[in-house]
Amino acid sequence: MASLILLAFALFAGAVSASELRIVGGESTSVNEWPSIAQVEFLGTASGIWTQSCGASILTSRYSLSAAQCFSGIFYEAKNRRIRAGTSYRHTGGQVSYVEYAFNHQLYGQNDMDADITVVLLKEPFVYNPNLQQVTIVPQGYQIPPNVRTVIAGWGATQSDIKVFSRHSFAIVLKCYVRKMAAVFWAVILLAGFSCTSAKLGSPAKIEDFPSVVQVENIAATIWLQQCVGSVLTSYHVLSAASCFSGVGYNANTRRIRAGTSTRGYGGSVVEVYHVYIHPSYGQGVGNDGDIAVVRLNGYLQLGGNIQQASILGEGIQLPVALPVTLVGWGTTAEGGLIGNNDLYSIDLATVYEGKCLYDYQNSDRPQVITENMICAGLPGVGGRDLDTRDAGAPIFYSGVTVGVVSFGQSYADDKYPVVSTSVGSYTAWIVEKAAV
């Protein structure tokens, strides 16, 4: 029997409000069958009572997917919303996390109910268990054809348990990648047999095993989000990619470093950025050559335990082909999933012959320059690995030594193109010089 995989929220918008939309004539089921479904609870300003009024799906342990209309309006405040997950019953059981911020799509409200979608950041992470799991969402651009039989799941108006329409089977096989989230409302569409092939997955990692790895966070509105990775050089210096600290509108005040934690955006020690030393060759017209930076912190990191200095490759050392290396980061590069988990992941790769890497990128849809100052790495026996841009600046390790700093790659490309990192050995003397300032 084909398995049912959760794809996306259905859009049931228009003149009908969230409180009026109900599932009628469904059959009772359990959250065990749909463990990614969650409740959005509203706090009544007059009554002081929390009431389930919308639905959501679990994207990661700290992010949920829902409808923008559930997180907007004249009286909306984030403090009056919370998410309950891992239970079949309205208002009861499971895990509860309060809302930190809702990222409503920028087009919502400009054309009636178009773009009624939001990504909700939670204050505390959920803990995964059999009743609480991540959702798989439909790939960008996929259009559900007419007459496809689907399942809608949610909480009805008069019943405490989840109600769903009868289940049907419809088989289609795709290679799934997340590029853009579909339009949503609080009910959930499920297609039977819609499966996703996947490349080799990485493995969950502990910061204790990679204590030199840190998160580079960018501020968006008032929320800090992990967007790049770095490595501890000293208690005052971090090694990362120049591309993470440049561009239009860049300011050191919009970056900070989080160290000593395996969880994205949570725990550990946080230090603001004081100054960034970008290699002078970066941005001089040779592609991403010189994509390396030494970050001077505004405070210091207390070395010890889960925060340790990285060992870096000696000056001038070039890596041989097919050398086993390890990439560590918070993006999907290492995880191999559809949406980056909030936990640290690692994956074993192998260095790729520079000539092949150059050929692949010169003949790609987005040609890139490959120089002798770069290291190409991919899955053993495959040669490529799709890149999540949130892994820019991530370390490439060989036997515990940082040999590369992730620079660029291709996303959603069936692992055809290698991950390209800046070779630390080409810049060791410069790194040591700047880390002494």
* Ranges of each domain in the chain: 4-197, 211-310+428-434, 311-426
Phi, psi at 206, each rounded to 5°? -110, 140
pLDDT of 362 > 60? The answer is: yes
Share of the chain above pLDDT 90, in %: 56
d(CA 146, CA 74): 37
| Whole-number pLDDT of residue 340 | 55
pLDDT band at 262 (very low <50, low <70, confident <90, very high): very high
Q: What is each CA distance from 360 to 204, 386, 407, in whole angstroms?
A: 30, 13, 16
Report the alpha-carbon distance of residue 51 to residue 280 in Å, rounded: 57
**Whether the Cβ atoms of residue 40 and residue 78 lie closer than 8 Å to each other:** no
Shared fold status for 4-197 and 311-426 = yes
Which has more pLDDT, 158 or 227?
Answer: 227
Residue 200 has pLDDT above 70, yes or no: no
Q: Who has greater pLDDT, 285 or 393?
A: 393
382 or 241, which is more confident? 241
Residue 237, Cβ density class (10 Å: 0-12 exposed, 13-18 middle, ≥19 buried): buried
Question: From CA 50, how far away is CA 80, in angstroms rounded?
Answer: 9
Between CA 296 and CA 162 the distance in angstroms is 52
Name the average pLDDT for the chain.
Answer: 82
Alpha-carbon distance values, 149 to 145, 164, 168 (Å): 10, 13, 6
The DSSP symbol for 371 reads: -
For 26-35, 90-99, 269-278, which range has the lowest pLDDT when averaged over its residues? 26-35
CB 62 within 8 A of CB 187: no
Cβ distance 208 to 306 under 8 Å?
yes
| Tokens describing residue 416 | 């055809």
Rounded alpha-carbon distances, angstroms, from residue 283 to 156, 277, 392: 57, 13, 16
Which 3 state secondary structure label does DSSP give 391? helix
Kindly indicate whether the domain formed by 4-197 is annotated with CATH number 2.40.50.140: no
Distance (Å, rounded) from C-alpha 236 to C-alpha 113? 49
**Domain 311-426 has what CATH class?**
mainly beta
CATH says 211-310+428-434 is which class?
mainly beta
Single pTM value for the model: 0.61
Cβ atoms < 10 Å from Cβ of 399: 10
pLDDT score, position 376: 97
Least reliable range by pLDDT among 52-61, 149-158, 417-426: 149-158
Looking at residue 154, what is its pLDDT? 77
What's the pLDDT score for residue 341? 59
Q: Confidence class of residue 218 from pLDDT cuts 50, 70 and 90?
A: very high
